[in-house]
Amino acid sequence: MVSDMSYLMQGQSGLEYYPCRYGRSRVLFRGPRRRLQGDYLAFLGGTETYGRFVNFPYPELVEKEIGQPCVNFGSINAGVDLYMHDAAVLNAIEGARLNIIQVMGAQNMSNRYYSVHPRRNDRFLRASPLLQTLYDDVDFTEFHFNRHLLRHLRQVSEERFEEIAKELRSAWMSRMKYLLGAMRGPSILVWFAPLPPGAPSNGLDGDPLFVDSSMLEALRPRIATLVVATPSEEARDMGTDDMVFNDFEAGAAAELMGPRAHEEAAEALAAVIKPLLFPSGMPD
């Protein structure tokens, strides 16, 4: 259901995201641009962290709750590679007092089988010789997006596809360990997704793809805590209410979580962030 508050007629402008860059990075993050001084918190993640179609994404709501600057380093369709291979972004984040990292899917990373765009991580660039050998019956020039590629490969052969899934899980674990090791401050992982870890998923439609509970548990020694923020029934029932989009974006908006889900995620995160930042209690 689409409410009057959420829908824009064709030709109307949508949300102003104030896209900005930090340092020499070419990646566009959600703005306005913040000064990276003092005690700030860094939020890393994909489309949900960026807050597409949402006026107040959860990093901004956490800032209001805890009274500390929260810098949104979320980027649409980001994978771990976006942060791994951009020294300017890592430099911008290194001064953060606390890092909150959204669990991102394993499909949007370069790996032994295929390469992705360094900034638009959902874009498929090329198949490796290994993938061309494994799937010598597939024409890879037909694909532009990772998920489209993976759906086709799975349809062609479940058995061969399992080799790719295994590689993606292994690559994700290695990259996450490296990324967490590169963080100077402590890190919180947040699972902000429609379904909890381990829940049955509908093929390759869900997110974060290929990441399961055992992988998250293996990272626990490297993080301060894991926050699972799945939307309540109330949040799910709201659909696209209070989201801002035009008629061309309606399908994309329907696949994302709305403002109430962001409010719930912010509440869950603030509850664990406050004791970490203020062990003696919140300042007056």
The enclosing domain of 209 has a CATH number of: 3.40.50.1110
Report how far residue 234's alpha carbon sits from residue 165's, in angstroms, rounded to the nearest whole number. 34
pLDDT band at 281 (very low <50, low <70, confident <90, very high): confident
pLDDT band at 14 (very low <50, low <70, confident <90, very high): confident
For residue 5, what pLDDT is reported?
A: 52
Q: Is the pLDDT of residue 210 over 70?
A: yes
Structure tokens belonging to residue 105: 């899917």
Is 62 among the domain residues? yes
Is 90 among the domain residues? yes
What is each CA distance from 266 to 2, 47, 57, 128, 253, in whole angstroms?
24, 16, 9, 40, 20
Report how far residue 238's alpha carbon sits from residue 136's, in angstroms, rounded to the nearest whole number. 45
For residue 45, what pLDDT is reported?
A: 97
| First-to-final CA distance of the chain | 42
| Residues 95 and 40: beta-carbon distance below 8 Å | yes
Q: Is the pLDDT of residue 260 over 70?
A: yes
Is 103 among the domain residues? yes
Portion of the chain with pLDDT greater than 90, in percent? 85
For residue 42, what pLDDT is reported?
A: 97
- Mode of pairing for the β-strands spanning 70-74 and 124-127: unpaired
Q: What's the pTM value of the predicted model, to 2 decimals?
A: 0.93
pLDDT band at 9 (very low <50, low <70, confident <90, very high): very low
pLDDT band at 242 (very low <50, low <70, confident <90, very high): very high
Q: Is the pLDDT of residue 114 over 50?
A: yes
For residue 6, what pLDDT is reported?
A: 62
Q: Tell me: the pLDDT tens digits for 74-94?
A: 999 999 999 988 999 999 999
Is 32 among the domain residues? yes
Mean pLDDT over all residues of the chain?
A: 93
For residue 10, what pLDDT is reported?
A: 46
For residue 3, what pLDDT is reported?
A: 47
Q: Tell me: the pLDDT tens digits for 19-62?
A: 999 999 999 999 999 999 889 999 999 999 999 999 999 999 99
Q: Is the pLDDT of residue 15 over 50?
A: yes
Torsions phi, psi for 18 (to 5 deg): 50, 55
Number of residues assigned to the chain: 284
Domain span holding position 109: 7-277
Is 230 among the domain residues? yes
Q: Is the pLDDT of residue 150 over 80?
A: yes
Residue among 216, 118, 138, 134 nearest 167 (CA):
134
Is 155 among the domain residues? yes
Q: Which helix or strand (DSSP H or E) is residue 64 part of?
A: helix 58-66
Helix intervals (H) in 157-283:
158-182, 213-218, 233-237, 250-254, 259-277
Residue among 28, 33, 100 nearest 65 (CA):
100
More confident residue, 8 or 69: 69
Structure tokens belonging to residue 49: 């962290």
Report how far residue 28's alpha carbon sits from residue 261's, in angstroms, rounded to the nearest whole number. 24
For residue 123, what pLDDT is reported?
A: 97
pLDDT band at 202 (very low <50, low <70, confident <90, very high): low
Is 49 among the domain residues? yes
Q: What domain count does the chain have?
A: 1
Q: Is the pLDDT of residue 12 over 60?
A: no
| Residues 191 and 217: beta-carbon distance below 8 Å | no
Is 283 among the domain residues? no
pLDDT band at 199 (very low <50, low <70, confident <90, very high): confident
